[in-house]
Structure 1
Amino acid sequence: MVLPYTREPLTDFSKKENQEAFLEGLKVVESYLGESYDLTIGGKKVTTEQKIVSTNPANKDEMIGYVSKADKALAEEAMQVAYETFETWRKTSAESRAEILFRAAAIVRRRKHEFSALLVKEAGKPWREADADVAEGIDFLEYYGRQMLKLKDGVPVNNHPGENNTFSYIPLGVGVIISPWNFAFAIMAGTTVAAIVSGNTVLLKPASTTPVVAAKFVEVMEEAGLPAGVLNYIPGSGAEVGDYLVDHPKTRFISFTGSKEVGIRIYERAAKVNLGQIWLKRVIAEMGGKDTIVVDKEAELELAAQSIVTSAFGFSGQKCSACSRAVIVEDVYEKVLNRVVELTKELVVGDPVNRETFVGPVIDQAAYNKIMDYIEIGKQEGKLLVGGSGDDSKGFFVHPTVISDLDPQARIMQEEIFGPVVGFTKAKDFDEAIEIANNTEYGLTGAVISNNRAHIEKAKADFHVGNLYINRGCTGAVVGYQPFGGFNMSGTDSKAGGPDYLLLHMQAKTTSELF
């Protein structure tokens, strides 16, 4: 009997025993820092001369691991293996596929602090953020396994006398999973197992900045009993391996999480029918956001300020759901702004190995440079109130930054920065605040802080985002509770952790039999 889905609890780090357990997890990770990891193709480990070097963004001199790097020839080999394996995996029962996910969830749960500690080291996540990342990964495993059991028999359709009709779901084929570094465990695991439990085989190409946690997850799936060839681990260059697989005629679907620019490029390339291709490829894309918290004059102002700070600076603002824009009705603008500045000054910036750290590093030098460039733009467009400085001598640290008095069309208010920077703008009333909130090309998350029921209802109707939150921050969607995905240039509104997500990895088949 499969128990009903409930979310994986977050760890209470105020308890000493949990602190000690996490420190033990860090020791485990430190014991294997600098090791090498192979590709996995058809269950075989493949070593290559070229390596992806994974380093700690909080300490550039600390090597997390050396990961073999796939090329086109190895990508082709993996494709052929996945294509052949699909013929047997697609006929494996839904119960057997789901059971592998449940076993994998149990393995990760036993090693939860180790995986969290690995995210601290490889992704630069503070303790709480890392713990939530791994918990979400466990949630995806548990939730998608249960969803597949619900879908395995299809849905009822009508029958005529003497006729039996069925409406069932069958898997698509070989999927290419291109996962991001910001939720290096949760999104990587979730997108991978959604495809697998639906009966597809996959080629996993994780982000080059966080390939070790993906390699460790592949080991978990093998331990859980996943047959060889279902999950093939092929980290490599996006320009070489990524493009090759997106274009490949045997690729049936691409599941991508990352930037708008790369997502658009994948969407365009996938639309072309290549020689030997007999289907239209499906693209599942989550591409980022420019997310707004709106505060009206009847809001609880302390809640508003806390929500903005937590949503803007959690994981250094490196979430597609992060609050990068605060639109405040003019009556309370100064009060909210001043309180946000106070709270921001209290945040602890530093190495996420330390439990007290709230703001750790950004992911790499390129991200650091981009964020610092945007801060310079922000100084010209508005008023810098706090932050604005960085230090990349040892790691890639950017101090949480608040820029006020911005024009709604300013670059700081329109372009995705993906760092610890939040811009403030003033609205004359709630109607204008919603207009400003909708004035970007994105539509991922948003929040409204208000005690005015008419304003809340207006936001539900008119705030054009995939995930709208009332009287809370705009980050932290929970699998099965707040299915996640956005509109417009935020992607294909593929609701991860939702009841229809697995259907994106399957196609419907009608069978009618006369008797």
Structure 2
Amino acid sequence: MCLAEALLRVPDNETADLLIRDKIAPGDWESHLGKSDSLFVNASTWGLMLTGRVVRMGLAPEWNLQGAIKKIISRSGEPVIRQAIGTAMRMMGGQFVLGRTMREAIRNAREWREKGYRYSFDMLGEAAYTQADAERHLKHYRDAIADIAENYKDDDAPIHGRPSISVKLSAVHPRYEWIKRARVFDELVPVLTDLAIRARRVNIGLTVDAEEADRHELMLDVFAALLENPELKGWNGLGLAVQAYQKRGLPTIHWLIEMARRHGVRIPVRLVKGAYWDTEIKRAQEAGLVDYPVFTRKAATDTSYIACTNAIFAAPDAIYGMFATHNAHTLAAVDVLGAGRDFEFQRLHGMGEALHEHYHAIKNPGVPTRIYAPVGSHEDLLAYLVRRLLENGANSSFVNRMADAEASLDTLVADPVAALAEMTPKRNPRIPLPRDMLGNRVNSQGLLWSDPPRAEPLLAEMKKSLERLPLAAPIIGGREKADLPAPVTDPSDRTRVIGQVALAGPAEAKEALDLAYKAQGDWDRLGGDGRAKILEHAADLFEQNRASLMALIVREGGKTLPTAISELREAVDFLRYYASEARKNFAPQAMPGPTGESNELTLHGKGVFACISPWNFPLAIFTGQVAGALAAGNAVLAKPAAPTPLIAAAAVRLLHQAGVPVDVLHLLPGSGSKIGAAIFPDPRLAGIVLTGSTEAATVINRALAARDGPIATVIAETGGQNAMIVDSTALPEQVARDAVTSAFDSAGQRCSALRVLFLQDDVADKMLDMVLGAADELRLGDPFDLATDVGPVINESARETLEQHAEKMTRQAKLLKKLPLRPEHKNGVFFPPHVFAIESISVLEREVFGPILHVVRYSAGHLDKVCEAINATGYGLTLGIHTRIESTAAFIRDRVKVGNVYVNRNQIGAVVGVQPFGGEGLSGTGPKAGGPHYLQRMALERTFTVNTTASGGNAALLSSS
């Protein structure tokens, strides 16, 4: 089978991006990918010979880590473990990093240079989260170019034979993201242009490294801007890395060919398979994407690599190929395909040495090899090292398999095209599509804002939906009572009217309770499956109307665009999750018992529930409360928060459209005290579901307890004094990212938001500098602007409370950071993020609901006291832990009494059915929202027993004998 045919047999969902984005008709693939598999038969034979030699010689590196550690441990009187770990890190650093400084790296490179190897130097360092880090990395790149130029000034080789430098764009700009595209072009493009000009002046190539898939479009835009710069015109040293595991790999090659010919240059392309595959799979699942940006089988990636190779060799005038591989078959295939052409191989420093050495020994000298060599201090090594070890330690990795004594040579060099052709299905069945990852229910749809074909139409539809001013009014029995409506305004601009609201009073509340009480029985008798179908239909309607719902979340709730789509997805997840739970748990359950008797257990709704939801999640929590009560067979009086009635009204209309009877679900926007006074004393009200302050929950609980009649059910999710504990082993970049996100996302107006950050003294200064620097990169503004990170707080009352607390902390504590407000914020209810240093969490008397972070330092030996201090607040909602030591995480988990604990990630954004959410103590009653015990709390149990022998005997028992 020819290569083109093999690739075309991959299902559409694996090749759609390749075909559509590059506008390649299926019939044209033959010319792009080659006409015969004979080349790959030769490559397999060639690879077999090469691999055999390498295996016989052995792959073990020339250092013995285990032996070195044992040698140190045998010494007496020294800090054994610290010495051993230090030596291990130095040895691994020497294996994978060419040098701590550029000059040291150039000195260490001499041995390989004398053997004919070229170098591409990469300045070690992960993505920058602060401007200071970005500037530090940028200085390293500039100094590196100068050092390379000085040490290679006598090298008169043409540009592709000279050393080069590789640049990671996320390292030189703290917000290298699609949502910051304008800022990237204003700030990053000039910086990168300057680096490229410096490299051109000294005849050094510069390659832009590829990163995560959601940066791909932005990377191409930045690269195009460099090609168009007059000072780089005609320069053949500007290169780009292309990842073959991306479905956009081949179209990217064709785009580069077009750009090279348009600008009259030959672009160096480093073709790699990719190092973030597991991350891409996880991110796509978390984001609810339609499909994965990468291939789900290793054979598909290897086939894509060969297809890209063919495309590169088909355009020698436009592309200079640089093929990075440690795989013998891949190396052999490229060697065969590129016979007589000008190209090079690449390998990582410290890896693939034996393979490339034997290749050059056989070919003598063969195609040149360039070593991709990281340069930097050992403190920057960890993230790079982990990625390399995971990448090459994976079961599918050639490096891993070649070290396996039981792996046959034929298997090691098997043709990936033939292997892919034989696979059924072509997609990896162990990796379900993101929509199918949850098993018994469909995952909610998401999107990447960096995907313009999907994001731009959604934004346009959202803006169009705002042209009509919606109305929120009491919806009772399906009728909307729009008496004396008042304007609803946008918290980001109080001069902007976005709709109208009419309020319900005691009369409307009592009417709704009358209708709900009468209708609840029929709704309960519909059964779990019947109710589930309606809720699932509602979920579909929510997704179909996501533009209008998201527009209201942004304009009425003040949420940013990324948080708006997250909230919509959470609402959809609630509907589908509670539908699946109703179907599973509300069917009759047969119970064991004596012969001649049947016993059945059934769950039923308790009656009428009042669902009182907050403004901070005006769609997600509102929908979750209502969907849970409905799924359990209850009728619902939905009371939305006063600032966000429009979103609630839109949700109720969609639920009615889906089939929820109008007498079962009623909407009561209005004063909580007036509505409560009308319905709380009524014994027909079976229960309350509340998300709000601890004080409000206490008042409601007392009101219900004071009445006569059945004891009401109260489910309350209340406040939190949420902490994050960071020890000395945590990665500063991760801490900065997760702390800033947890504290300031949604303007800190999340139940789960980080309020108190505990930093271990040993690392507090460095961690705090990075957190404060990352906070500096946040932008306050209109939440409908994709570049906005922090929107407004909900209203003037909220802002006044935050200002009072900030004034108090400014007097009693130390202000570390306060972001500025700009003139364009004057019409909105904006409160900038603040960071304060405090002595103890005990100085905080109650939850501060907004973008204020408090920092407490602690000593390494006092971790138990930190746990005690957190427990002493009485709150127990969320806790973040950042540590690389499992026993530390376990120690904290066993002591801190909180509902949700998150390790080495942010502590917001709990996913329905994955991380059920809810606290304990002053933070709520439980059970957790989005968890398997939620519906049972709103249900009552009944048993039904029948004596089957009463009609004349036990026929079943008699027949069994």
Fold agreement, TM-score > 0.5: yes
Letter of the structure 2 residue corresponding to residue 289 of structure 1: G
The alpha-carbon deviation at position 439 of structure 1 amounts to 2.8
Pairs aligned (count)? 507
The alpha-carbon deviation at position 187 of structure 1 amounts to 0.5
Matched residue of 2:850: which SS? coil
- CA distance in 2 between counterparts of 1:454 and 1:37 reads 52
Letter of the structure 2 residue corresponding to residue 308 of structure 1: A
1:200 aligns with 2:634: yes
User: Structure 1, residues 149-191: CA drift from partner, whole Å, max 9, x if none?
Assistant: 0012254432112222222211100110111110100000110
Q: Report the equivalent of 2:617.
A: 183
Q: Report the equivalent of 1:314.
A: 745
1:29 aligns with 2:468: no
Q: Report the equivalent of 1:482.
A: 915
Letter of the structure 2 residue corresponding to residue 208 of structure 1: A
Q: Using a 3 Å threshold, how does the CA distance of structure 1 residues 388 and 342 change in structure 2: closer, same or farther?
A: closer
1:266 aligns with 2:676: no
Report if the CA contact (8 A) 1:375-1:388 is conserved.
Answer: no
Matched residue of 2:790: which SS? coil
Letter of the structure 2 residue corresponding to residue 364 of structure 1: N
Q: Report the equivalent of 1:69.
A: 503
Q: Report the equivalent of 1:399.
A: 832
Letter of the structure 1 residue corresponding to residue 628 of structure 2: A
Letter of the structure 2 residue corresponding to residue 250 of structure 1: R
- CA distance in 1 between counterparts of 2:892 and 2:439 reads 36
- CA distance in 2 between counterparts of 1:196 and 1:338 reads 49
User: Structure 1, residues 389-447: CA drift from partner, whole Å, max 9, x if none?
Assistant: 66873011111111114333212xx4211100000001112323322332312100011
1:237 aligns with 2:668: no
Letter of the structure 1 residue corresponding to residue 812 of structure 2: E
Which 5+ residue runs of structure 1 have no aligned equivalent? none
Q: Report the equivalent of 1:48.
A: 483
The alpha-carbon deviation at position 388 of structure 1 amounts to 6.4
The alpha-carbon deviation at position 62 of structure 1 amounts to 1.2
Q: 2:810 aligns with which of 361, 379, 400?
A: 379
- CA distance in 2 between counterparts of 1:224 and 1:153 reads 22
- CA distance in 2 between counterparts of 1:381 and 1:61 reads 36
- CA distance in 2 between counterparts of 1:289 and 1:498 reads 19
Q: Using a 3 Å threshold, how does the CA distance of structure 1 residues 171 and 439 change in structure 2: closer, same or farther?
A: same
Q: Report the equivalent of 2:444.
A: 8
Q: Report the equivalent of 1:164.
A: 598
Report if the CA contact (8 A) 1:246-1:254 is conserved.
Answer: no
- CA distance in 1 between counterparts of 2:751 and 2:439 reads 32
1:492 aligns with 2:492: no
1:246 aligns with 2:677: no
User: Structure 1, residues 208-254: CA drift from partner, whole Å, max 9, x if none?
Assistant: 10000110011101211222201111111011012322232210010
Report if the CA contact (8 A) 1:184-1:213 is conserved.
Answer: yes
Q: Report the equivalent of 2:546.
A: 112
Q: Using a 3 Å threshold, how does the CA distance of structure 1 residues 478 and 127 change in structure 2: closer, same or farther?
A: same
Q: Using a 3 Å threshold, how does the CA distance of structure 1 residues 243 and 441 change in structure 2: closer, same or farther?
A: farther
- CA distance in 2 between counterparts of 1:395 and 1:387 reads 18
Report if the CA contact (8 A) 2:757-2:854 is conserved.
Answer: yes
The alpha-carbon deviation at position 113 of structure 1 amounts to 2.6
Report if the CA contact (8 A) 1:408-1:425 is conserved.
Answer: yes
Letter of the structure 2 residue corresponding to residue 382 of structure 1: A
Letter of the structure 1 residue corresponding to residue 482 of structure 2: T
Report if the CA contact (8 A) 2:839-2:856 is conserved.
Answer: yes
The alpha-carbon deviation at position 89 of structure 1 amounts to 1.3
- CA distance in 2 between counterparts of 1:431 and 1:78 reads 52
Letter of the structure 2 residue corresponding to residue 13 of structure 1: W
Matched residue of 1:438: which SS? helix
1:428 aligns with 2:859: yes
Higher gyration radius (CA): 2
Q: Report the equivalent of 2:474.
A: 39
Matched residue of 2:494: which SS? strand
- CA distance in 2 between counterparts of 1:458 and 1:157 reads 41
- CA distance in 2 between counterparts of 1:160 and 1:479 reads 40
Report if the CA contact (8 A) 1:52-1:208 is conserved.
Answer: no
1:137 aligns with 2:571: yes
Structure with more strand by fraction: 1
- CA distance in 2 between counterparts of 1:119 and 1:199 reads 28
Deviates most, 37-46 or 373-382 = 37-46
Q: Report the equivalent of 1:123.
A: 557
Letter of the structure 2 residue corresponding to residue 359 of structure 1: V
- CA distance in 1 between counterparts of 2:533 and 2:587 reads 17
- CA distance in 2 between counterparts of 1:297 and 1:269 reads 48
- CA distance in 2 between counterparts of 1:96 and 1:82 reads 18
Report if the CA contact (8 A) 1:328-1:433 is conserved.
Answer: no
Q: 1:17 aligns with which of 425, 448, 453?
A: 453
Letter of the structure 1 residue corresponding to residue 853 of structure 2: V
Q: 2:726 aligns with which of 292, 295, 309?
A: 295
- CA distance in 2 between counterparts of 1:389 and 1:354 reads 18
Report if the CA contact (8 A) 2:776-2:819 is conserved.
Answer: no
Where relative contact order (Cα < 8 A, 6+ residues apart) is larger, the structure is: 1
Q: Report the equivalent of 1:450.
A: 883
Deviates most, 500-509 or 85-94 = 85-94
1:417 aligns with 2:848: yes
1:324 aligns with 2:755: yes
Letter of the structure 2 residue corresponding to residue 260 of structure 1: T
Letter of the structure 2 residue corresponding to residue 67 of structure 1: V
The alpha-carbon deviation at position 310 of structure 1 amounts to 0.3
User: Structure 1, residues 102-155: CA drift from partner, whole Å, max 9, x if none?
Assistant: 111111111223211210000000011111000000000111101100012254
Matched residue of 1:434: which SS? helix
Q: 2:777 aligns with which of 335, 346, 371?
A: 346
Aligned-pair identity (%): 34
The alpha-carbon deviation at position 3 of structure 1 amounts to 6.8
- CA distance in 2 between counterparts of 1:44 and 1:313 reads 40
The alpha-carbon deviation at position 192 of structure 1 amounts to 0.3
Report if the CA contact (8 A) 1:294-1:434 is conserved.
Answer: no
